[in-house]
Amino acid sequence: MKHIWAPWRIQYILQDKPGGCILCDKPEEDKDAQNYILYRGKQNFIMMNSYPYNPGHLLIAPYRHTPGLEELTDEERNEHFELVSRSIRVLKEVFKPGGFNIGANIGKVAGAGIDDHFHSHIVPRWQGDTNYIPVLADIRVVPQALADAYKELEGKF
């Protein structure tokens, strides 16, 4: 059996798991760089996914804790999707991906890791970014550190 070492994961594995909602708690902190928050709008914010599928994987979430898209106000929803659009423009400029996956997992049975606070995912994609590793080993290789991706995206929004 071959091993892929990911020593940075031990910090996550051993840390105390916080209660509450990270999509509510992180914007309340004055630690945008540490929390990978890239942009703060009036109703929504853009943050990097701490466990990305690819470099530049972003989350867009309303500040208000609500589980469903249909529960957003018109102002929240309009700004939310404006930030989706802005995120695509910035990611095209910075990372030059060949495409994107954009979506929301609404409800635990739909795969939502945070099922009670609506948010959208923007995942940049490149030709060949999915190869045999996920299929054979059930492991995803992400070729860029979060801090490095954050530095490239910081200030672009």
Do the domain assignments include residue 2? no
φ, ψ of residue 125 in degrees (nearest 5): -130, 145
Cα–Cα dist 49/55, whole Å: 9
Do the domain assignments include residue 12? no
Three-state DSSP class for 102?
Answer: strand
Do the domain assignments include residue 9? no
Do the domain assignments include residue 4? no
Cα–Cα dist 12/119, whole Å: 22
Do the domain assignments include residue 8? no
β-bridge pairing 120-125 and 99-103 = antiparallel
Do the domain assignments include residue 3? no
Q: Which of 57, 80, 119, 121 is catalytic?
A: 119
Query: Is 0.85 surpassed by the pTM of this model?
Result: no
Tell the burial category of 116 from Cβ atoms under 10 Å away from its Cβ (0-12, 13-18, 19+).
middle
Cα–Cα dist 119/25, whole Å: 14
Cα–Cα dist 118/93, whole Å: 27
Catalytic site includes residue 119: yes
**Tens of pLDDT, residue by residue, the chain (157 residues):** 555 666 666 776 677 766 789 999 999 999 999 999 999 999 999 999 988 888 999 999 999 999 999 999 999 999 999 999 999 999 999 999 999 999 998 888 887 788 899 999 999 998 877 654 554 456 666 778 888 888 989 999 9
- CB half-sphere exposure, 22, CA atoms < 13 A: 17
Domain count, the chain: 1
CATH number of the domain that residue 53 is part of: 3.30.428.10
Domain with 32 in it: 17-153
Question: How many C-beta neighbours within 10 Å does residue 62 have?
Answer: 25
